[in-house]
Structure 1
Amino acid sequence: MKKSNNLKEDILWNKYKNSNCQQSKEELILSYTPLVKHVAGKIITKIPDGFTFDDLLNYGFLGLIDAMDRFDLNREIKFSTYAVPRIRGAIYDEIRKLDWVPQSVRRKSKRLTNTYYQLQKKLGRNPNDEEVRTELGLTSEEFNDLLVDVNISENISLESFFNLKGGDKIELKDLISDSADKEPDNIFFYDQMKMILGESIDKLPEKEKLVISLYYYEDLTLTEIGEVMELTTARISQLHTKAIFRLRGYLSRKKDLLFA
């Protein structure tokens, strides 16, 4: 584990992992509460009414505790890097159980993903907005409305996963944060998927690539990204949505080849 800047935190980790000290575990959970709040805060702004911030916090703490139990002190990464995708995943897992995404949105999302997939296959490159809009038979206003409709975190995020040997699952969010656990039998598949994801991100338009980098690598909120790029939050959200659908189209093609 990379040494933190907090000696007390390092001591707590050693007591918890080496002696199963529950008091140390509780103190660590308390110290990482701001991290859980940060992740929950990013998600609460992009999901429908019906979930409270406290709901998401509770879900996030499940992910935090799981990450703490699974974390290996010998790994040369910061715990926060390891924990963020698991906190986020735990929140989405609980939200998905309620199946809150309308079927109409799922259909629109599937159509948009398929459109990017087919155009990328046909053109041999990422299609521009005009090509996607024309293929869908939509006006500029209708296309923008579509992006708003499908802009639901669970629906357009990289929270999908690939199945590996033995039924294990590696989630794309783990690939982006470079924090997935790699079993020896799955190293090849993990490395191949990471390479494919890197290729797909490199092919994005520059603004979309920057949004993905700041959102997933730097863990900034859409509002914070807007401040960095001097764009409105709504514009950043639109760039994020288009980037994700481009990635999903590209990854769908590559996944078919990798897992054929």
Structure 2
Amino acid sequence: MTATKTAEARAAVLPQIADPSKIAPKDAREMTRLFFDQLSVLEEGTREYQYVRDTLIEMNVTLVQYAAWRFRSRGTGEMDDIVQVGIIGLIKAIDRFELTREVEFTSFAVPYIVGEIKRFFRDTTWAVHVPRRLQEARVELAKATEQLRSRLGRMPTTLELSELMSLPERDVIEARKASNGYTSASLDAAITSSEDGEAALADFIGVDDVALELVEDFHALAPLIAQLDERERRIIHMRFVDELTQAQIGKQLGISQMHVCRLLNRVLGKLREGMLTSP
């Protein structure tokens, strides 16, 4: 008898559990050790291996529920979402646990579960608005990705994810893109540039150019200035182009500084009104 057949024969003695999630925690602890013992001798990818692994997941969902309950006061996300995220941690723990560690599986698994839930809360605030259906698909996508990655030993393709999630490929692609909305990078984040060495992200982001607003103002102001009489245009030119003082302008025009002030106020008021009423 080959090693594979021997392993399959040993797995055949395992009880067929109709609903592993209904097993009491005390019984689940004993059954978990038995199933891990069988998992260690089965060939990965076989139907028997998958049955044992799936049963281990379902038997230990109560661990996830226990860990999720501790986060009930966070006020972010539905409890079902938190449990689903915790199951990802449970799956990681099952795939990495070895009986030779001589430690209870519960002690080994809880840090994985809690770590995954904490990561969920860390990333749970969306940086941009994303439709609710895509927010929900994010958790399912993460779970499906981890399951297939553990089973296949590589990152799954879009087609493989769509088959497992029972979603069209376009929805899987959309969910992946939407996941990017969870986080945003700091403008102070350092990035590497081959030419200039290290630089901040903000160095590559454009800013509003105040001078562009002046261009628009000049275009709107030009026809209004053209409507002024010659002396008004001359006063505007001397004050704002030649930058002369009111006293200097008065000396050139042969009028008092007070008269220049009144003329400037009248001209500026006329231009201001024209700017506010122009389309």
Normalising TM by the smaller chain, what interval? 0.3 to 0.5
TM-score normalised over the length of structure 2: 0.32
Give 1 or 2 for the bigger CA radius of gyration.
2
TM-score normalised over the length of structure 1: 0.34
